[in-house]
Chain A
């Protein structure tokens, strides 16, 4: 059969490699999306196990399970892997699967770069886990990598820095791909203000990544040169400024926390209208609120550093700018609630997780506001109150939205309905155990228990014991999720194209499971 060279791009799917090569060489957005999801899932088990090591040690005061040095390695790697190896890759997985389907594009704009972007991740993940087997063990300076600790440790610190570089490169490739796909490959009629909110939130997230990842890469590179090449960017002994590292890190870090949560806002904004059977309330205000949050996220970084010493005017500036973010966030919460108001609601598992998201993320937002008040933060900084805050926004926020999204789109991905009864069980166990784990941490923090220590004073014993029980319950409940996903992949009730009665959008017009190639010719959106 004669082939015209210019058409080679049309002919994928003809001679496809099989087995492992299929996955190594795939440029298909659905394949790559699945790879990202599985990678996130595996890393979740690893980082989750680390969390259970931490909670096992903290079950009782005193040192029982691990030695303090290893404990610190666990907190450091747990944080790094959860942020860079679980939440971010999971969102990239959703982006790959859903964005082309939602805007009517046949694939991502740069399929080959998409493949590289993914395959960098297992390399970085491997390096991070490898650090544990290096002389002196893994990095123990905290996920924030502050000097002086991070310029003093052994070889595993260099490996960690290298892994962060690789992760950054992967994020850049992913975000360039996402931005170009969304901007250039929308189907005719899919104007910007008709795009599903998930697509909008990812567009803004990708922008945040592009703007901030070089800052992180530069920061860790300067740590590396301070460690190995006698520079003194952050090394006080050579006239460097360790506090400046914190400024640079958080200039990246605060936008980063929005990178973790904006796609969650998107997913929840897809799910709630579906199960309330009403269009999203205030679509345009959702878009503007997302953009405002993103812009504000550049001018609040020093709220992580109120205790390092800064002029009162700076404290005031960062306090007020931080509190300002609560306004667009409030708009969002209001819109979700207003969408449900007088809707014909049903409570399938995705909706349950989405509703839990709205309630519990809001608790995390409120505790964030508490932290944002300088005088209060000087008291609670580096205590368990902060740990409670960021786990409410990250576990019941980002992670719950990921889980909700998986339940929501799993029938489209696999062609089978998941087991609803098990889904509900998973939901109730997760939501209850999550609160058992993290709510008492507010009390511990207010009472003065510092974070990142393997031991604590006796008066903190009860709440710590409760938190540890909750953590183990939460951890083991997630196995239900894994089982349920595998079960849906293997078989089960056939899903219809639309899957959910109230679902709207292009992804629900293609068959379930979504065929390997979709929208090779753009649909026309009215």
Chain B
């Protein structure tokens, strides 16, 4: 579901920082408002019919609102996702949030190797940093082109450091 909002890496002197997140055009409050707007009307209609004695509409309305709630919650769980890379001196801090689950890794700039697979646009570019035998993939929300650009910026920064 996530699609990328392209944020190009920022390099200023000693620091390097990069931040990107999936594109969500609905804010949290909007999401709640839309959900309750729909749920209220649906449940109200079903309640009126139930009150008249035609109660078998209510279970269907209930199931539907349940599915809707699940769907909106699923949207919400990805809304806070992001990926960030910060470099201070030799320290590289990678942070990734996915579905409410935060993952972070600190690498030493002297010991990392940049891994780039399929380095041409359209070739499904994979970008990762390898250190201590473990790879951390980067640029989840970027296009191939943007991932290549990020790779270039990172490479320059790592070589310089």
Residues of A within 8 A of B (CB): 1-2, 4, 6-7, 9-11, 105-107, 109-111, 113, 168, 172-173, 176-177, 179-180, 183-188, 190, 207, 210-211, 213-215, 217-219, 221-222, 225, 233, 244, 248, 251, 519-522
Contact = CB atoms under 8 A, between A and B. Distances in A.
Contacts of B53: 233
A179 B25 CA distance: 12
A106 B143 CA distance: 12
Nearest to A11: B124
B54 A233 contact: yes
Contacts of A179: 34, 38
B33 to A, nearest CB: 11
A219 to B, nearest CB: 7
Contacts of A251: 45
Contacts of A214: 42, 45-46, 57, 60-61, 63-64
Nearest to B143: A521
Contacts of B68: 176, 210
Given A4-B137, A211-B38, A185 B57 contact: no
Given A185-B1, A210-B42, 13 more contacts: A9-B1, A109-B1, A183-B31, A183-B34, A184-B26, A184-B31, A187-B25, A218-B56, A218-B57, A218-B60, A221-B56, A244-B52, A521-B141
19 contacts: A1-B126, A6-B96, A6-B98, A106-B3, A180-B72, A183-B30, A184-B31, A184-B75, A185-B24, A211-B45, A214-B57, A214-B60, A214-B64, A217-B57, A244-B54, A248-B49, A521-B6, A522-B3, A522-B23
B5 interface: yes
Contacts of A173: 67
B3 A180 contact: no
Contact of A218 (B4, B46, B75, B128): B46
Given A210-B64, A215-B57, A521 B137 contact: no
A218 B137 contact: no
Interface string B47-85: 001001110111111011001100110110000000000
Contacts of B45: 211, 214-215, 251
Given A183-B26, A183-B34, A218-B57, A521 B42 contact: no
B151 interface: no
Contact of A522 (B5, B63, B75, B124): B5
Given A6-B140, A520-B4, A172 B23 contact: no
Contacts of A172: 64, 67
A188 B20 CA distance: 13
A218 B58 contact: yes
Interface string B16-37: 0000000111100011001000
B3 A185 contact: yes
B84 to A, nearest CB: 15
Nearest to A210: B38
Nearest to A245: B54
Given A9-B1, A211-B38, A214-B61, A185 B23 contact: yes
A94 B110 CA distance: 53
Closest 7 A-B residue pairs measured CB to CB? A218-B57, A214-B60, A186-B25, A521-B143, A214-B61, A217-B60, A184-B26
Nearest to B117: A1
A183 B49 CA distance: 30
Given A185-B23, A521-B142, A215 B56 contact: no
Contacts of B140: 6-7, 10
Interface string B115-137: 00100000010101000000111
Nearest to B2: A9
Nearest to B147: A521
Nearest to B130: A2
A521 B61 contact: no
Given A210-B42, A214-B61, A215-B46, A521 B4 contact: yes
B146 interface: yes
A185 B25 contact: yes
B102 interface: no
A218 B54 contact: yes
A224 B64 CA distance: 20
A188 B23 contact: yes
Contacts of A190: 25
A185 B41 CA distance: 24
A172 to B, nearest CB: 6
Contact of B67 (A6, A176, A221): A176
B41 A211 contact: yes
Contacts of A168: 60
A392 B25 CA distance: 39
A177 B42 CA distance: 17
A219 B5 CA distance: 45
Contacts of B41: 211
B20 to A, nearest CB: 10
B145 to A, nearest CB: 9
A214 B53 CA distance: 16
A13 to B, nearest CB: 9
